[in-house]
Amino acid sequence: MNKIKYDSQHDLSSENICLIPAGTSILNVTKSMEIQKILFPQEEFDVTIILEEKSHLELHALETLESGNGTIKIESKTDSFLIFHLGLLTKGQNNLTIQNEVSGSHSMSEIKIRLVGEENSHTVVKTRGVLKKDTVENTFLEDVKYLNEEQSYIECLPELFVDSNEVEASHNVSIGSIREEDLFYLESKGISEDKARQVIRECFLKSMLK
């Protein structure tokens, strides 16, 4: 298996695009890094993002996941700071795992995912939080929301493993649906039901942008 290693100092383009390669890769964040676009490959991927001590990673992205199959592992070390806000439009068959493992202390992790499935798509998203032993004063939040629609299938499986006695952690998954009153409101302005649904979906995902 090929391993690609790239870091925050060299391999990120000036447009703050993070290209996830197929296969196994490691991204080292050593200082401060901002990502506005994350491109998933159509082949299987397994990327590990290592947040080194006192590093800072902020991701706000709105992306399409098409026939994606892979894992994003984030390792948070002492005094690291993570904001991972991702809006995902899924197409085809997808299987995505996002894992955040906190091995240091005094870190902050906030992972928010918003999901909308295209017609006939089938998506399974696993989020896993691991707070390791002998760590203290970490703040950890995992929040996944998706729109439940007849046209697509989305399944979210949240897991949280806490092996530390001194942590503030929460995780939740919630299912939303497009409210009839929102649709009526937009329709009463002259917007067709299909367009209104599309606008609501887009805005649901766009809430992940900065």
Interacting residues toward other proteins by CB under 8 A: 180-182, 184-193, 195-196, 199-200, 203-204, 206-207
The answer to whether 140 touches 131, Cβ cutoff 8 Å, is yes
Phi-psi region of 134 (alpha: psi -120 to 50; beta: other; left: phi over 0): left
User: Between helices 180-187 and 193-206, what is the axis angle to 10°?
Assistant: 120
Q: Which is nearer to other proteins, 98 or 205 (CB)?
A: 205
Output the CA torsion sign for 158, 176, 201, 124: positive
CB of 189 to other proteins, least distance (A): 4
Taking the least distance from each CB to other proteins, the nearer of 43 and 182 is 182
Quote the least distance from Cβ 98 to other proteins, whole Å.
22
Which amino acid is present at 132? K
C-alpha 145/C-alpha 149 separation (Å) is 13
Alpha-carbon gap, residue 71 to 96, rounded angstroms: 6
Judged by beta carbon, residue 170 or residue 207, the one nearer other proteins is: 207
Residue whose pair of structure tokens reads 């800072």 in the numeric block: 56
Closest CB to other proteins among 136 and 199? Answer: 199
Q: Min. distance of Cβ 87 from other proteins in angstroms? A: 10
Measured at the alpha carbon of residue 210, what is the angle toward residues 196 and 171, in degrees to the nearest 5? 85
Q: Quick one: 10 or 189, whose CB is closer to other proteins?
A: 189
- The label of the residue with tokens 């992306």 reads 63
Q: What CA–CA distance (Å, rounded) separates 65 from 81?
A: 26
Cβ distance to other proteins smaller for residue 39 or 203: 203
State in angstroms the smallest separation of the CB of 194 from other proteins.
10
Provide, rounded to whole angstroms, the least separation between the CB of residue 200 and other proteins: 7
The CA-based dihedral angle spanning residues 115, 121, 122, 126, taken in that order and rounded to the nearest 10 degrees: -20
CB of 114 vs other proteins, minimal distance in Å: 10
